[in-house]
Chain A
């Protein structure tokens, strides 16, 4: 059981690094040049990349940091954190699905770092579901 939360903490660290990278890309505009291989410029420069003036990538970074914190707290015996972590991961997974939909059908460009984030969230969801299954 404990191992699962170690995995969750590590996954959320990777997610945090990924989201931080995207935030920096967004803020500095490094990927704004159009390139053959990357659709990140189209995705990051789209109106969907900002919510209420805040880059969505920064919101993602904050979310991954929260999940990391909750996983660590659970590991150290703060069991109420596990519930909150489940809620966070479910919400993040739902949002990730929405973002994949936007990339596929609205922006019509894929950003590999955004897809990596979605994959990490999906893996986190699997971890949460397994941990819930084990608890029963």
Chain B
């Protein structure tokens, strides 16, 4: 017995380890890696089911930067509010997904972007947020927002990102001198702070965090094919 006992112990540990790994990978909802919008299946087709969790409560929170950066009509039945960090890779992956939803649902969707730079984690996140806000002061927030996200991989490894963002400012036709002043100005800092404060009051801990009509959309529902279903369900329940 003593000769085979160690092998029994080893076997038990192996079975427990593999069994718990198998159980956990099955119970934890998979694929919140935001598979890019390549999974453009028609609505209602197969694909991974939307996580059916209990509806989270509607949250109000303190107001963020005013006026917020908004796309779409104020009376849209679906209001999406995204807390994003320009340097965060999943936010970069989520960007085209949200664009796709905007194109698909048109006037039924209103999108608000809130700054939530994760400063200790991402060294350039604050500079990126400032660049987008400075562009916003000249009415070109979304143009800058798109460029920064689309070129995320090109700038995030750089040591100094400011010249790169200045290049984007030129590209979208900003008054670059004013942009440079605004980037370091109080107004931009206050807007980022206000959005951060709002995020904090809503319990935002990471990015992207997305609220739809005041309720948080679970992270695992952010891939395009799932978000589409979530929006459709919300439209159905609002009777529009």
Question: Which residues of A come within 8 Å of B, CB atoms?
Answer: 13, 16, 20, 23-24, 27-30, 32-36, 38-39, 42, 45, 61, 65, 68-69, 72-73, 75-76, 78, 108-109
Contacts and interface: CB of A to CB of B under 8 A. Distances in A.
Question: Which 8 pairs between the two chains have the least Cβ-Cβ distance?
Answer: A34-B88, A35-B206, A29-B33, A76-B6, A33-B206, A69-B10, A72-B6, A28-B28
Q: Which of A29, A61, A65 has the most CB of B within 10 A?
A: A29
B21 interface: yes
B13 to A, nearest CB: 6
A16 B14 CA distance: 10
A119 B5 CA distance: 30
Interface in B7-40: 9-10, 13-14, 17, 20-21, 24-25, 28-34
Contact of A33 (B2, B10, B208): B208
Interface of B: 2-3, 5-6, 9-10, 13-14, 17, 20-21, 24-25, 28-34, 85, 88-91, 118, 120-123, 205-209, 219
A78 to B, nearest CB: 7
B17 A61 contact: yes
Contact of B6 (A30, A75, A109): A75
Contact of B30 (A23, A29, A39, A42): A29
B13 A42 contact: no
A36 B209 CA distance: 13
Contacts of B90: 32-34
Nearest to A78: B6
Nearest to A36: B118
A113 to B, nearest CB: 15
A20 B21 contact: yes
Contact of B205 (A13, A36, A39, A69): A36
Contact of A24 (B25, B34, B85, B118): B25
A39 to B, nearest CB: 7
A24 B21 CA distance: 7
Contact of A32 (B24, B25, B33, B120): B33
Contacts of A109: 121
Contacts of A65: 13-14, 17
Contact of A45 (B14, B85, B89): B89
Contact of A76 (B2, B91, B123, B209): B2
A34 B28 contact: no
A135 to B, nearest CB: 20
A78 B207 CA distance: 51
A55 to B, nearest CB: 12
A41 to B, nearest CB: 8
Contact of B10 (A36, A61, A72): A72
A24 B24 contact: yes
A23 B20 CA distance: 12
7 contacts: A16-B13, A20-B17, A28-B32, A29-B30, A32-B32, A34-B207, A35-B207
A88 B115 CA distance: 47
Given A29-B30, A36-B118, A72-B9, 14 more contacts: A16-B13, A24-B21, A24-B25, A24-B28, A28-B25, A28-B32, A29-B32, A32-B32, A34-B89, A34-B91, A65-B13, A68-B10, A68-B13, A73-B6
Contacts of A61: 17
A16 B208 CA distance: 31
A35 B89 CA distance: 11
